[in-house]
Amino acid sequence: MSDTKQNIIKTISKTPLPAMFKPFYGGLGSILFMHKVVASKDPNKIRIPLNDANEVSISYLEELILYFKKKGYDIISLEDLPKRLNHASKDAKKFVIFTFDDGYKDNLTLAYPIFKKHQVPMTVYITNCFPNHSAKLWWYLLEDLVMEQEEISVEIANRKQTYSLSSFSQKEAAFHELRELFIGLSPEKQNKVIDALAQAYGKDLQQYVKTESLSWTEIKELSKDPLVTLGAHTLNHVTLNTLSKEDFYHETLESKKEISEKIGKEVRHFAYPFGTSKEVNKREVEWLGKSEAFTTATTTRIGNIFPKHKNHLWALPRIQVLGTWEGTQILEAYISGVVPALKNKFKKVVTL
């Protein structure tokens, strides 16, 4: 999110709009999602904004927990959501659910102690290729390349594209453009491009995943605490609408199976990788629902949770908390429903 957009949302949060929108678009509560947690932000380090936004400091994470407690929210587990929806009432307290995508090591070392301290639940969606160390964390590779190089060449779909990277604005633009191109590729084509890039510029892809990922031992350790719910996030963090039905079920059901076997308890929750309307549509939701493998499935479409979601538990919207936010003004504009309403042209995100 650009600084301009953040400033606009901050301005909106100071107006009467959040109070006006909340009864109609605030819903029963919200599912928040994050990725990485860091000890603190390094103001002297130049970072690609998109990656930097995916890193939330532990101080800000704790600030969010205290904010929701002060506001009188129930901080609940995903396990409790279906029951909450089935017994929804206008007078019920608002709820919030904290979720983390992918399975980063810091979810255990930094985030978990904060949740333990405050005795509130958290959910971690595991992408199996993280603990299996087969993940190709291309977003970190791409960030390093655009920050280190003056120029890079990438061949995609038999077309060689060269990016000049002499200024930070060029680096930022190249990162965003390449990220969108990568996400739109099939897993096979994506791997081909990533491997070629790593080889051309002498990068060790394995080192990224070894450094950043939870191990199976650490995942099992997390699973022992009732405060922690573990979910599946596919085997290889692929764009699901690029897959055949057979490959879709392999990615989703085998992810659940392996995690369940590793932790010794059944996994009942799922998060779609790259879960916007560009990557997850009616086909994917119907396939997942027909499998009856999961109780809930979350997208990354922006929205709050409404009573009608009890009939659409495999397409739940979430709100991403960004590390570039300061305080709770921007968050308030989201959970009140102002930003989701404007983003979704005043439609409530209930179905696809």
Please report whether residue 301 resides in a domain.
yes
248 in the same domain as 176: no
Query: What pLDDT does residue 191 have?
Result: 87
Residue 201, domain extent:
138-206
Please report whether residue 350 resides in a domain.
no
95 in the same domain as 54: yes
184 in the same domain as 119: no
- Per the CB < 8 A criterion, the answer to whether 193 and 184 are in contact is no
User: Does residue 45 have a pLDDT over 70?
Assistant: no
Between 204 and 89, the higher pLDDT residue:
204
Cα separation, 136 vs 47, in Å, equals 20
Query: What pLDDT does residue 2 have?
Result: 64
Counting the structural domains of the chain, the total is 2
User: Does residue 349 have a pLDDT over 90?
Assistant: no
112 in the same domain as 192: no
Query: What pLDDT does residue 43 have?
Result: 58
- Per the CB < 8 A criterion, the answer to whether 296 and 316 are in contact is yes
* Model confidence pLDDT, tens digit, residues 269-299: 999 998 888 899 999 999 999 999 999 999 9
Please report whether residue 196 resides in a domain.
yes
Where does residue 329 rank: exposed (0-12), middle (13-18), buried (19+ CB within 10 A)?
A: middle
SS3 sequence, 109-139? HHHHHHHHHHCCCEEEEECCCCCCCCCCCHH
224 in the same domain as 183: no
Q: Is the dihedral of CA 164, 166, 167, 171 positive or negative?
A: positive
Q: Please give the torsion angle defined by the CA atoms of residues 136, 320, 5 and 323, in that order, rounded to the nearest 10 degrees.
A: -70
* Model confidence pLDDT, tens digit, residues 207-255: 999 999 999 999 999 999 999 999 999 999 999 999 999 999 999 999 9
329 in the same domain as 279: yes
Among the residue ranges 29-38, 73-82, 298-307, 320-329, the one predicted with the least confidence is: 320-329
For the chain, the 3-state helix, strand and coil shares in percent, each to the nearest 5, are: 45, 20, 35
Radius of gyration of the chain (CA): 20
Query: What pLDDT does residue 42 have?
Result: 63
233 in the same domain as 106: yes
Domain boundary among 153, 176, 206: 206
- Per the CB < 8 A criterion, the answer to whether 126 and 103 are in contact is yes
330 in the same domain as 250: yes
Cα separation, 293 vs 271, in Å, equals 13
Helical H runs in the chain?
3-13, 17-25, 49-53, 58-70, 81-86, 106, 112-118, 138-148, 168-183, 187-200, 205-212, 216-223, 245-263, 282-291, 329-335, 338-343
